Amino acid sequence: MLTRRQFVNTAAATSAMTPTFSTDLFAQAYPDREIHSIGMFPAGSGADVMVRYMSNKLAEMTGKTVVVENKAGAFGNIATSYVARSKPDGYTIYIAPGSSVLAAAPSLFKTMNYDPINDFEHITTLFKVSFIQIVAGKGPYKTTADLTKALKEKGDKATYGSVANTGLVASEIYKQGAGLKTVEAKYKEVQAMLVDLLSGQIEFCHIDPTSVIAQLQDGTVRALSTSSVSRVKLLPDVPGSLEAGIPDLDLIAWWSVHVPKGTSQPVLDQLEAWFNKIAVDPDVGKWLVNIGCDPFPGNAALVKELLVKDTKAWADYVKLANIPPFG
């Protein structure tokens, strides 16, 4: 017969062992059902293509279905809030431009119902991309200097479009540096913005190359410069921001993977291993370069470091561009 002390000690030991045993079993079984990948962009948009591509690669790695759910709107706040409130079991993941969604949020919004750094487990980085300044392909502007001259003449009668945080800030930094009075027009979808660009309703916008690959190739739109100092491999003839005469502009969007806070460490480790295999895959690298991106593998520590650094940087960007907070 067990004494009271023996019983208590045995129970305590069993209790201490159980969570580890359960966690190990869960990690070994993960995933045992479909994973939901949350996208902040409208279905079919250029950025959505990137979410779906990476989600499909994860499906290949895991052997399980990965369902992409689009929760577009509010510059990513709808999707981000959804993920923050989701069950931390590894079955809800968030593939997004962390630099311009999580890092930028504190400076762009008056109120948020999530903490961009502390309400998530940050898995790893995936790739990075410079935005490009585009105009209508059949329009009169051949260079950023041409555009700047025309916008100065038009004053507040001219308009530019924005559909993503990075594009918004890139355009505002350009506007401030050139002393322009151009008015912003917000769009929920890239396609609607392109329609207005081609019809002359707006003069220009900054956008990720992926969203306009087809239009760049057929000449429907023309790229004048990048949002970074360096040129991009996809468009070697398009000058960087400094070459184009836009000082203080060196914005690069980096994409990353996140899950709800509280997800178990074995699952986090497994997701990090899978996504880093994807990021360094040569075929993935070729695909990324062809859409204007560069592979950017990393780890959880790098994501958090970048988030802290870029959160501070975005505060400076927003102040420099004189952007009032939304909502």
The whole-number average pLDDT for the span 305-325 is: 89
Q: Which of 160-164, 265-269, 312-316 has the highest mean pLDDT?
A: 265-269
- Per DSSP, the residues of 94-143 read EEE-TTTTTTTHHHHBS--SS-TTTTEEEEEEEEEEE-EEEEETTSS--S
CA distance 200 to 318: 27
The arithmetic mean of pLDDT across residues 231-259, rounded, is 94
Output the pLDDT for position 21: 41
pLDDT (tens digit per residue) in 274-302: 999 999 999 999 999 998 899 999 999 99
CA dihedral 216, 318, 240, 176 (to 10 degrees): 100
Residue range 65-90, pLDDT digits in tens: 999 999 998 889 999 999 999 999 99
CB 174 within 8 A of CB 249: yes
Q: How far apart are CA 256 and CA 242, in angstroms?
A: 27
Nearest-5° angle of CA 251, CA 111, CA 122?
55
Give the pLDDT band of residue 148 (cuts 50, 70, 90). very high
Say what the pLDDT of residue 74 is. Answer: 85
pLDDT over threshold 60, residue 23: no
Q: At what angle do helices 144-154 and 165-178 cross, to 10 degrees?
A: 70
Based on the number of CB atoms within 10 Å of its own CB, is 289 exposed (0-12), middle (13-18) or buried (19 or more)?
middle
Using CA atoms, how far residue 320 sits from 13, 167, 227, in Å, is: 58, 15, 15
Strands (E), the chain: 35-39, 66-70, 92-96, 120-130, 132-136, 159-162, 183-186, 204-207, 221-226, 252-260, 293-295
Q: Which residue has the tokens 């079993």?
A: 25
What pLDDT is attached to residue 248? 87
Three-state secondary structure call for residue 223: strand
Q: Which pair of tokens denotes residue 262? A: 């509280």
Between helix 300-321 and helix 165-178 the angle, nearest 10°, is 40
Name which residue leads in pLDDT, 198 or 319. 198
Which domains does the chain possess? Answer: 31-126+254-318 (3.40.190.150), 132-226 (3.40.190.10)
Q: Coil, helix or strand for 230?
A: coil
Residue pair 314/103 in contact (Cβ under 8 Å)? The answer is yes
pLDDT band at 164 (very low <50, low <70, confident <90, very high): confident
Range 19-29 average pLDDT: 53
> What is the average pLDDT across 118-138?
97
> What's the pLDDT at 80?
96
> Mean pLDDT over all residues of the chain?
90
**Contacts for 79 with CB less than 8 Å, ≥ 6 apart:** 38, 39, 40, 71, 72, 94, 96
Confidence of residue 165 (pLDDT cuts 50, 70, 90): confident
Query: What is the DSSP code (8-state) at residue 188?
Result: S
Nearest to 95 by CA among 252, 303, 253, 255: 255
Distance of CA 241 to the CA centre of its chain: 21
Task: With cut-offs at 50, 70 and 90, classify the pLDDT of residue 22.
Answer: very low
Give the pLDDT mean for 56-60: 98
**Residue 2 pLDDT > 80:** no
Percentage of residues in the chain with pLDDT exceeding 90? 77
